[in-house]
Structure 1
Amino acid sequence: MQRQPSHDVRVKIGGNAHGPVVAGNGNATYMNTAMPDSEVASERGGRADLLAAYRVVVTTDVQGSSSRNNNGQRRMRPALEECFQTGAMALGVSREVFEPVDRGDGLQVVMPEAVTVVDVLDTFIEAVAKALREYNEAASDAYRIDLRTAVHVGYVDRVGGEWSGTPLVHAARLVDAPEVKHVLGEASDACLALVVSDAAKHVVNEGYCRVGPTGYRQVAVVVKETSCDAWWRLL
């Protein structure tokens, strides 16, 4: 019997999968050469489009921001961004890959690929809250910042440098939960109300985070088309 010629064929497989994937029938080898986001972006000379990227999403809203005058709004934005950058430094994330989006009355950030829910809850949120307390101690009551912050995780897309996806929408709904607004407004000794989604709370329930499930209180979130349970704690 005549043997079929042997060929070495390599085919790049796109997508967000990482690590080697090899398949073949002895004649051809298909190898996954997908690279981390930063490498893909570097290879293309810019920020690459991403589909179905599994990321941690953080959305914030400044309590009572609409009551501030123009001067208050101008002072609020850089102070809030500086607190976020302090959190990024605590994570060891550079400014080049940490890009909060201004929502007008808060910030939204899709965390870099390597950042986990545990990283966000144990390190980022704690650092932001500490920076916020220090800012409030030096600020007058008129410029105090109290922050509601939601943490969610899921699949998002980045097209043309802009992030989109239902996790972003869901986090925005969580941060607007009326009960959380009320609780933060009544708590004179807290500057940040943390709200976590069911997906993020699952990580807490598994015992990975410093603050366990007993540190959170459940809340029913009914905002616009969203109706779900979430969990909150004050910092």
Structure 2
Amino acid sequence: MYTTIIATDIVGYARQARTEDLQSVLRARAYQQLAAAFAMTQIPWDQCQTEDRGDGALIIVPATVDCDYCLDPLVHHLAVALRRYNRHASEATRLRLRLAIHFGHVQRDSRGVSGHAATHLFRLIEASAFKRALRNVGTDLGVLISDQLHNEAIQRGGMFNPSAYQPIRVSIKETRCTAWLWLAPRA
């Protein structure tokens, strides 16, 4: 299946101050904010396939949803949802997310999805340059999109604003590529 795939990761999930009970709260809040952002964007959350990853998730968007719709307005709606939640959160319960977004062919089996696109997606979410960029700014949401998706969104036009993204080099395991970073404005 050829579709958009999204990986999420809760920033600082395993910090020593975050007990297992607090981690459970953060996981629940992350899923709530994601579902809210998908609803605002009118992407059917209940039709997405999600695979839990402990401190994050893999989201396979229905193939009927245009890939650029997962950039704008989805990431902007998620930034708003996180800002709204964090306005009332303590430092311990503050929720910060990293998202990586890519698209391509994935294969389904009884355990989930696999394929080169999924592997590339997880290289993006784990890229040290991405983690460093988000840590240095301290915003609630950082998004890293693949070069392939960036180029596709530019060609499609639509609401995507390529000047809002900056290129960063990704070098992790066998992957060496350029990806495109968007950081949500600080509240």
TM norm structure 2: 0.90
1:94-133 superposed Cα distances (whole Å, 9 cap, x missing partner): 4431232211111110101111111101122222221111
Q: Counterpart of 1:97? A: 47
Q: Counterpart of 1:228? A: 177
Contact 2:127 2:170 in 1 (8 A): yes
1:82 correspondence with 2:32: yes
2:57 aligned to which of 84, 107, 118:
107
Distance, in Å, in 2 between the alignment partners of 1:206 and 1:85 is 28
Letter in 1 for 2:165: Y
1:176 correspondence with 2:129: no
Q: Counterpart of 1:196? A: 145
Letter in 2 for 1:144: R
Q: Counterpart of 1:31? A: none
Distance, in Å, in 1 between the alignment partners of 2:111 and 2:132 is 35
How far 1:228 sits from its partner (Å)?
1.1
1:56 correspondence with 2:4: yes
1:6-59 superposed Cα distances (whole Å, 9 cap, x missing partner): xxxxxxxxxxxxxxxxxxxxxxxxxxxxxxxxxxxxxxxxxxxxxxx1100000
Contact 1:203 1:209 in 2 (8 A): no
Distance, in Å, in 1 between the alignment partners of 2:43 and 2:127 is 29
How far 1:193 sits from its partner (Å)?
0.7
Distance, in Å, in 2 between the alignment partners of 1:210 and 1:93 is 16
Query: Secondary structure at the residue paired with 1:142?
Result: coil
Letter in 1 for 2:180: W
Q: Counterpart of 2:82? A: 132
Q: Counterpart of 1:145? A: 95
1:214 correspondence with 2:152: no
For structure 2, list consecutive stretches of 5 or more residues without a partner in the other structure.
Answer: none
Distance, in Å, in 2 between the alignment partners of 1:94 and 1:204 is 21
Q: Relative contact order (alpha carbons < 8 A, sep ≥ 6): 1 or 2 greater?
A: 2
TM norm structure 1: 0.72
Distance, in Å, in 2 between the alignment partners of 1:170 and 1:157 is 14
How far 1:209 sits from its partner (Å)?
4.2
Contact 1:88 1:98 in 2 (8 A): no
> Which has more radius of gyration?
1
